[in-house]
Amino acid sequence: MNLEAHWKNLRESLEVIEESIEKGLLERQRNIGFNCSAASADMLEILLHKKSLIDPGFIIKHDWFNSKRKINEKLLFSFANKDKIIDLMLRIEEKRNILCYGKPQKEEYILELLKNFNLLKQTFKEAGLNEL
């Protein structure tokens, strides 16, 4: 996928997250879980493309972040804030499936996901995605 397509998808996910927060965390937990995960993967791909660390056909799959071992096998190269980014993405992915497919969660659970997502966005800014 080209860089502009990733930016388009990222903007869409960020809009859906904001709309879901406005509608109510408990009413839109599935949208929040799915879009925080999707946006995280898009931000990582954008960063890695900008740093010329991956080819245009390289696809990062959200489910890689179910396992630290799996993601370390896939991303053998280093980049700014790699450990912090991976840690935050692992935390986001850990909550994704519960929010998307599980029973309704307490507001604190969703707020923790959003806190980690906002930390991740800030970390990507520090790593070079100033456009966020």
Task: Give the domain ranges of the chain.
Answer: 3-127
Question: Average pLDDT in the 29-53 region?
Answer: 96
Question: Average pLDDT in the 66-81 region?
Answer: 93
Instruction: Tell me how far apart the 2 most distant CA atoms of the chain are, in Å.
Output: 41
pTM of the model: 0.94
Q: Is the pLDDT of residue 131 over 90?
A: no
**CA atoms 121, 125, 128, 132: torsion sign:** positive
